[in-house]
Structures are given as structure tokens and as C-alpha cells.
Amino acid sequence: MRRHKSTSRGRTCNVLEREAGPPPSVTEEGDVGATTLITDLPYGPKAAEVARDAVAVALHGTEPDLLDDARLITSELATNAYASGSPPLVLCVDRTNPTTGGLEVEITVSDGGCSHLAPSTPPPAGDEAESGRGLVIVEALADAWSLTTGTQGTRAWCRIARGSSPSTAST
């Protein structure tokens, strides 16, 4: 794993990059306000598992509900990328602490492209269907999301934002 500084959307942040494979455990040395994890995902059935593990590393120390939502969303996006796209699969998790407090997480999964257009809204899955609910789950859990498809690449993106927690200090 390599750690270096990067500028994203006009701000400096830590960037964690690594090769494909299960993510190692990482402990943040200090919160500088932003951390980005970028990793390749295997193009195969393990994509969702590796993506969930990577999100757990990127969001270490966050509230359990946020981590659960982020892991589920990431699993759905990685599964869709494997099922509908082509290699390579890449996951990016951008964690920021806005100056107004709280936490904002952006998750992006991109792949090498697909032959069909993105839906404008998640298509309904049949009652008996074993798949087809991924984007419905993303829409329900994320504060914002988008899907851009094309033959040269597909990008699924979402944002989860949580407000600042009340102080737990006793008086």
C-alpha cells in the first residue's frame, strides 16, 4: 500500500492506493480531513467481497450504521460492474470531514464499459426475481447517486452524508 498526498476537488487529502487482492488493515495516523482509497477489484464473483473489505478499511472508526450502508452499497455497485461491465473494475472511496462537521463518503465503482445504456431510474425487479434490486438499494441508502454507462467505461457513484454527532462529554 502506498500513501501520498493528492488534490481532489481543490483540497489536499491522503490517498491510499494498492494492488488487487484483499485489503490490509490500516490505521489512520491522523485525521487531516480527507482520505481516499483507490483499489483494483477482481473481475469475478469475489469483486463484491473485496470491495466490502476495502470500504471497511477506508471507513475504519466510523459509526456502524454508516459502515453497514457503505458496505452494502459498495457490494451492489461492484456486483453490477462485474455482472454488466467489463474489466478493469476500480473502486474509489473518498472520505471527508466537512468544516461544518459530520462525515461525507463518496463511493465510485468504474469498469471497462458495457453495451447498454444506464437507466434513468432503477428498474423494478419482479417479485420472484433473484437479482435486479441493486440500484434500488443504492437509491434508498445514498443521499445522491448516478450511473453513467458507455462502451468505453461505466461509472457508478454515490454519496452518503452524516451530520455531526452530539457531544458525548458529560458535564
Task: List pLDDT tens digits, range 30-79.
Answer: 344 788 999 999 999 999 999 999 999 999 989 999 999 999 999 999 99
Mean pLDDT score, 4-14: 39
Cell of 34: 480527507
Residue 49 lies in a domain: yes
Residue 14 lies in a domain: no
The dihedrals phi and psi of 53, each to the nearest 5 degrees, come to -65, -40
Q: Residue 137 burial (CB < 10 Å; 0-12/13-18/19+)?
A: middle
Neighbours of 68 (CB within 10 A): 11
Residue 108 lies in a domain: yes
Mean pLDDT score, 5-31: 39
CA 56 to chain centre: 10
Number of independent structural domains in the chain:
1
pTM of the predicted structure, to 2 decimals: 0.70
For residues 30 and 21, what is the distance between their CA atoms, to the nearest angstrom?
25
Residue 159 lies in a domain: yes
Task: List pLDDT tens digits, range 92-135.
Answer: 999 998 877 889 999 999 999 876 655 555 555 555 545 556 78
Query: For residue 132, what pLDDT is reported?
Result: 54
The DSSP letter of residue 102 is S
Q: Is the pLDDT of residue 142 over 80?
A: yes
| Residues 93, 30, 9, 15, CA torsion sign | negative
- CATH number of the domain enclosing 89: 3.30.565.10
H-type alpha helices, the chain? 47-58, 64-84, 134-141
Residue 113 lies in a domain: yes
Q: Which stretch of DSSP H or E encloses residue 98?
A: none
Residue 46 lies in a domain: yes
Query: For residue 165, what pLDDT is reported?
Result: 47
Asked if residue 118 lies in contact with residue 91, where contact means CB atoms within 8 angstroms, the answer is: no
Mean pLDDT score, 13-35: 44
Query: For residue 26, what pLDDT is reported?
Result: 38
Residue 112 lies in a domain: yes
Range of the domain at 53: 42-121+134-164
Q: Is the pLDDT of residue 169 over 50?
A: no
Residue 141 lies in a domain: yes
